[in-house]
Amino acid sequence: MGVNLKKLAKKTRHYDHVLLVMRHAKAEGSSAEGDHSRELTDKGRKQAKAVAKGLNDMDLVPDRIACSSATRAEQTLDRMLKVFGDKPKVDYRQSLYEDGMQAVFDELAHSKEKSQILMILGHEPAVSMASQWLASEDSDSDLLGLLNLGLSPAAAVVFGSNKPFDAWQTHDAELLAVLNPKNFG
């Protein structure tokens, strides 16, 4: 499904708060040191850079990023920060690796109201499941269907709301888009 990035960028400006829920980029299948230590592939590094450039072009550089402490998530973010620069405040969270979708909701609950654009960078299935719970019930059924399939590597879900993040409840945010690296490129 094609996404008109200019229309999406314009639509996000109608909201006081924009949430980006992202899965890490493509990682190697295994690591001798265990799952937490899996690294990005060359394709994954390219995906992370493409998504960061696309978000930057849409003026969706996050104010704050909560990132899983797993190597592949940290490497995804490292590539993205080369595009974003010093603007985002970054917090690395073991909970985004260990605690599933509850960790996504915890990040929202503890978010400061001054954050206008928040990114949560984590893992499947937690990121797609949390996104399903966040999406308002009147969200586009095609977009909800994409979430049911799970997020591919480096995919990002875009939400908007005029409520501060710490006031978001289930089915509270408008699901604006499900973006994949191919949408930027």
The CATH fold assigned to 5-26+36-184 is Rossmann fold (3.40.50)
Average confidence (pLDDT) over 105-131 = 93
- Structure pTM? 0.97
Residue-wise pLDDT tens digits, 45-70: 999 999 999 999 999 999 999 999 99
pLDDT digits (tens, 9 = 90+) for 7-27: 999 999 999 999 999 999 999
**Token pair belonging to 178:** 């499900």
CA distances from 181 to 17, 32, 91, 137, 141 (A): 23, 28, 24, 26, 21
- Domain borders along the chain are 5-26+36-184
State mean pLDDT over 146-171. Answer: 95
The residue whose two tokens read 């603007």 is 87
Give the helix ranges, DSSP H, for 85-171. 95-98, 101-109, 126-134, 141-148
